[in-house]
């Protein structure tokens, strides 16, 4: 790999923009395609397909065997609420290679003593979220149980097309939340994207077990093809 390609690859990845490196494995010839340039690329159909699946793979074009290496941004987890569950969720998510950020305006909760080594932002969502550049490669969970904090955060997650959106609360709590979000302009398809009650149903009781059920659900959302995903949910 030429140093220029490697530098560009690292720069795009640092900016959380997807990139595909196309390699002719016979000759070693290589080029880098940025996500925004895929539409005008001669291999656009193949590139778009691999990027959609988030999977690297081989294609044969004009007698040449090409390896398409997809570099999708590292998955992130944004947690709204520096609560007990978050204390278990943050280290678990990090062990699964997620970049983690926690947002909670209540400084008694959002204290570094409770959350060592985690990006912690003690601000309201309207201030904390815009600089985080929440994107499609972000899993977003709201666990404060406080509508003043959770609701605006969820509206932000809808707008940013997060691949997973989850909210803590019983069916009853969620029904009330849905009413409030509708009143604030959320569409039915936005509402349908919320996983609530949050997490896979594994009978989780302790904060650590709830964290496992949440990360299992997020993993299913990230990795399973669409049909199997519905069965897991």
Size of the site for other proteins (CB under 8 A): 23
Looking at beta carbons only, is 3 or 205 nearer to other proteins?
Answer: 3
C-alpha 220/C-alpha 194 separation (Å) is 15
Identified binder of other proteins from the candidate list 22, 23, 153, 220, rule CB under 8 A: 23
Question: Which lies closer to other proteins via its Cβ, residue 93 or residue 196?
Answer: 93
The piece of 65-73, 125-133, 164-172, 204-212 that touches other proteins (CB under 8 A) is: 65-73
| Burial (Cβ within 10 Å: 0-12, 13-18, ≥19) of residue 127 | exposed
- The answer to whether 98 and 74 are in contact (CB under 8 A) is yes
Q: How far is the CB of 61 from other proteins (least distance, A)?
A: 15
Q: Answer whether 213's CB lies under 8 Å from 197's CB.
A: no
Taking a C-beta distance cutoff of 8 angstroms, is the pair 58, 68 a contact? yes
The vertex-206 CA angle with 204 and 212, nearest 5°, equals 55
For the bound state, the minimum distance from the C-beta of residue 197 to other proteins, rounded and expressed in Å, comes to 31
Q: Is 74 in the site for other proteins (CB under 8 A)?
A: yes
Q: Hey, which residues between 81 and 100 contact other proteins (CB under 8 A)?
A: 97
d(CA 126, CA 123): 8
Name the site residues for other proteins (rule: CB under 8 A).
1-3, 6-7, 9-10, 13-14, 23, 25, 28, 30, 55-58, 67, 69-71, 74, 97
């Amino acid at each position: 790999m030429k140093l220029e390609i490697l530098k560009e690859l690292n720069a795009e990845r640092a900016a959380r923009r997807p990139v595909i490196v196309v390699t002719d494995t016979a000759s070693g010839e290589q080029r880098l395609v940025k996500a925004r340039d895929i539409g005008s690329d001669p291999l656009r159909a193949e590139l778009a397909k691999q990027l959609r699946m988030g999977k690297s793979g081989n294609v044969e074009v004009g007698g040449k065997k090409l390896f398409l290496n997809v570099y999708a941004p590292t998955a992130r987890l944004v947690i709204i609420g520096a609560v007990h569950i978050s204390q278990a969720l943050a280290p678990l998510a990090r062990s699964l290679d997620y970049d983690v950020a926690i947002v909670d305006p209540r400084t008694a909760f959002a204290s570094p003593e409770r959350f060592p080594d985690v990006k912690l932002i003690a601000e309201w969502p309207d201030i904390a979220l815009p600089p985080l550049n929440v994107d499609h490669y972000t899993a977003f969970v709201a666990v404060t149980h406080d509508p003043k904090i959770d609701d605006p955060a969820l509206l932000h997650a809808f707008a940013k097309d997060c691949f997973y959106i989850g909210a803590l609360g019983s069916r009853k709590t969620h029904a009330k939340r849905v009413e409030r979000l509708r009143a604030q302009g959320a569409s039915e398809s936005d509402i349908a994207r919320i996983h609530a009650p949050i997490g896979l149903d594994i009978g989780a009781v302790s904060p650590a077990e709830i964290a496992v059920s949440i990360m299992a659900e997020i993993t299913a959302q990230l990795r399973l093809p669409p049909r199997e995903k519905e069965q897991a949910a």
